[in-house]
Amino acid sequence: MKRSSRAVADVGVEFSLFNTGDSRIDARVSKVVRRLCRRPDQSFPRVMKTEREAEGLYRLLANPRVNYRGLVASHAEKTVERMAPGSTVRVVHDTTELKFSGESERAGLSRRSSTSTEQVFFAHVALALSCDEVARPLGVVGMKCWARTGPARSSRKLSGPQLAKLSDKESNRWGELVEEVEERIDDRAHAIHLMDREGDSYPLLCAMVERARRFVVRMARDRVVFAEDPETGAEDTIHLSEALLALRHRVSREVPLSRRAKTAMPRLSKTHPPRDARAATLAVSAGRVTLKRPRFYTDELPDSLTLNVVYAQEVDVPPGQDPVAWVLITTEPVSTAAEVEAVVDHYRHRWVIEEFFKALKTGCSFEERQLESFATLTKALALFLPIAWQMLLLRAVSRATPNAAATTVLTETQIDVLRHYQPDKMPRGATAFHALMAVAGLGGHLKRNGLPGWKTLSYGMQELAALTEAWEAGARSAAKRARNTIND
């Protein structure tokens, strides 16, 4: 079978590097994920063909020789292989909460709140994207999972200096994953790490600068910065918000903003208020600032940190909408308008990881899994990573470059299958957008309903996987009959 060099049909290949030392266990991982790919939104018993296969899946998830870190590492190494040698890639970091309903206690998970029956754990993910306008998803390059099973920090009544000295802070995961990703990528490519407000940590920024890591981080705090007194010339301190007003305007830029639904969590609704989809015009300025070390930290950290800053503020805001305002701290150059625009573009593609989380939660129905422990849930999550990535790849490329060849997202065999079962949607010379709509058509999508959602796309990918498997089995059978005829 001829395969595109860029598309991936067999997600089982993503775990070909997984190694427990037992070839039977390793082979079962690939077999299981191939089954999951066929019906990623269905329960495990319904996905497996037989009761024996279902028991095999549960034994695999319970096996102590199988751990989520090893599964993630295999997919991550395959992700690195998809990076063009010597290229620059964007690595988006973010955390998502995975919540599960039900009264029964799940070992190793925590309650969402003292009054909630939902149990949760968290996954901190690093997703690699190509460094161009397409921002082609390449796969996951790292993941850390944890649950808040210890006493709440608020119950410890710790002061600011005490909190700063804690060695087990959740925020440490950001720097740890940056280094894990850098070690994994090695000299294959050059990474630019992208982080939202949660990445605004002085120790993290210092560590990345010390190790010469490239990054774009959205600031969450109005930090204290050093400035020169215009009258005396003496060094003074002001807040970052004041320093931003003095930055030189560099460029105006129009960017699309996606719709954001209202959330039930008060903290998130404040930082991420609901909004309608719109095109926003941003006035962008840039310059250089020197951050002062926060008073809670000791002189183990440098007393100042000088970095570039890009300030993007929305103008002509529609009535009733909150203006977009991004303060981006970065190691990337900002001397020219093109360089400033590049920083904005890097951060603008951070949203792709939000879509990846939707693919996991909606397309793969991960939060509906009935597994009973942190250990089994994290292993299952690792198995779903390349399945969600495949769905994200198809949708992202078809939207960013709808006229790209269909072979950029599907294999030749998958395209042949779609031409047979969705002939009206797959003309000769089919594009990535044709491929998206044809796959969605297999899932029951109607063109008049607009672009397909994650559920519909998931159904379509399931059907395509099943049809492709049957197609390839038929081709093998035909080839065998032909060989037997020749031998006779």
In this predicted model, what pLDDT tens digit does every residue of 196-205 receive, in sequence order?
A: 999 999 999 9
As given in the structure block, the two tokens for residue 26 are: 């390793």
Helices then strands, counting H and E runs in the chain, come out as 16, 12
Predicted confidence band at 302 (pLDDT cuts at 50, 70, 90)? very high
Predicted pLDDT at 54: 86
Quote the pTM value: 0.86
**Backbone dihedral angles phi then psi of residue 174, each to the nearest 5 degrees:** -60, -50
pLDDT in tens, 223-274: 999 987 666 666 789 999 999 998 988 888 888 776 666 665 555 556 666 6
> Mean of the pLDDT values across residues 297-324?
89
277 and 307: one domain?
A: yes
Q: Could you tell me whether strands 248-257 and 235-239 are parallel, antiparallel, or unpaired per DSSP bridges? A: unpaired
Structure tokens at 218: 């959205």
**Boundary-marking domain end, from 369, 395, 421:** 395
In a domain, 464, yes or no: yes
Other beta carbons within 10 Å of 58: 14
Q: Are residues 451 and 353 in the same domain?
A: no
On whether residue 2 sits in a domain, the answer given is no
Domain containing residue 143: CATH number: 3.90.350.10
Q: Residue 67: is its pLDDT beyond 80?
A: yes
In this prediction, residue 147 carries a pLDDT of 93
From 374, 395, 416, the end of a domain falls on: 395
Residues 423, 393: Cα–Cα separation, whole Å: 22
Note the pLDDT of residue 324.
86
What's the average model confidence in pLDDT over 175-190? 97
Summary mean pLDDT of the chain = 86
- Whether 269 maps to a domain, the answer reads yes
Report the C-alpha gap between 272 and 195 in whole angstroms: 15
Q: What is the pLDDT of residue 164?
A: 52
- Distance of alpha carbon 231 from the chain centroid: 48
Answer yes or no: is pLDDT of 89 > 70: yes
Question: Is the distance from CB of 311 to CB of 246 less than 8 angstroms?
Answer: no
**Domain end call among 395, 421, 450:** 395
The string of pLDDT tens digits covering residues 335-383 is: 999 999 999 999 999 999 999 999 999 989 999 998 989 999 999 999 9
Q: Are 12 and 18 in contact (CB under 8 A)?
A: no
Q: Say which residues have a Cβ less than 8 Å from residue 217's Cβ, sequence separation at least 6.
A: 193, 194, 195, 199, 200, 205, 328, 329, 330
User: Is 5 part of any domain?
Assistant: no
Q: Is the pLDDT of residue 35 over 60?
A: yes
Print burial letters for 280-298: b (CB count within 10 Å at least 16), e (below 16). bebebbbbebbbbbeeebe
The pLDDT, as a whole number, for residue 316 is: 85
| pLDDT (average), residues 38-49 | 81
Statement to judge: residues 344 and 410 lie in one domain: no
CB-based contacts of 129, cutoff 8 Å, min separation 6: 89, 90, 91, 92, 135, 136, 137, 138, 349, 352
Mean pLDDT check: name the lowest of 143-147, 164-168, 445-449.
164-168
CA 337 to chain centre: 28
Question: Model confidence at 2, in pLDDT bands (50, 70, 90)?
Answer: very low
Q: Quote the tokens at residue 387.
A: 């399945």
410 lies in the same domain as 352 = no
Which residues are 290's β-sheet partners? Answer: 226, 306
The pLDDT assigned to 461 comes to 83
Predicted pLDDT of residue 49: 76
Q: Are residues 19 and 65 in the same domain?
A: yes
pLDDT at 398 over 80: yes
Give the residue, 453 or 191, on which the prediction is more confident. Answer: 191
Buried b or exposed e, range 195-214, using 16+ CB within 10 angstroms? bbebbbbbbbbbbbeeeebb
**Single-letter amino acid, residue 296:** F
d(C-alpha 97, C-alpha 145), whole Å: 10
What distances in angstroms separate CA 467 from CA 33, 421, 471, one per listed residue?
A: 17, 9, 6
Tell me, yes or no, whether 73 and 219 share the same domain. Answer: yes
Question: Residue 109 above 60 pLDDT?
Answer: yes
Q: How far is CA 130 from CA 45, 87, 91, 134, in A?
A: 37, 9, 9, 7
d(CA 398, CA 39): 22
Angle at 411 between CA 2 and CA 434, to 5 degrees: 140
User: What is the enclosing helix (H) or strand (E) of 330?
Assistant: strand 325-330
Contacts 24+ apart (CB under 8 A), 20-25: 20/65, 20/66, 20/70, 21/65, 22/65, 25/60, 25/63, 25/65, 25/66
- pLDDT, tens digit (0-9, with 9 covering 90-100), for 21-34: 999 999 989 888 88
Q: Do residues 240 and 343 share a domain?
A: yes
DSSP for 349-386, please give it: GGGHHHHHHHIIIIIS-GGG----BHHHHHHHHHHHHH
On whether both 80 and 206 belong to a single domain, the answer is yes
Would you say residue 139 has pLDDT above 50? yes
Statement to judge: residues 227 and 91 lie in one domain:
yes
Answer yes or no: are the C-beta atoms of 93 and 124 closer than 8 Å. yes
**Range 195-218 average pLDDT:** 96
Per-residue pLDDT, averaged over 86-103, amounts to 94
**Res 150: pLDDT:** 67
User: What percent of the chain lies above the pLDDT cut of 90?
Assistant: 52
Domain range spanning residue 446?
Answer: 401-487
Q: Which residues contact 170 (CB under 8 A, 6 or more apart)?
A: 122, 146
Per-residue confidence (pLDDT) for residue 161, from 0 to 100: 55
The predicted pLDDT at position 73 comes to: 97
Q: Do 343 and 481 belong to one domain? A: no
CA 197 to chain centre: 16
Task: Provide the CB-side half-sphere exposure for 177 (13 A, CA).
Answer: 30
Structural domain contains residue 66: yes
Is position 3 within any domain?
Answer: no
Whole-number pLDDT of residue 84: 95
Of 441, 394, 388, the C-alpha closest to 418 is 441
Domain total in the chain: 2
CATH of the domain at 425: 1.10.740.10
According to the model, what pLDDT value does residue 4 have?
A: 36
Model confidence at 217, in pLDDT bands (50, 70, 90)? very high
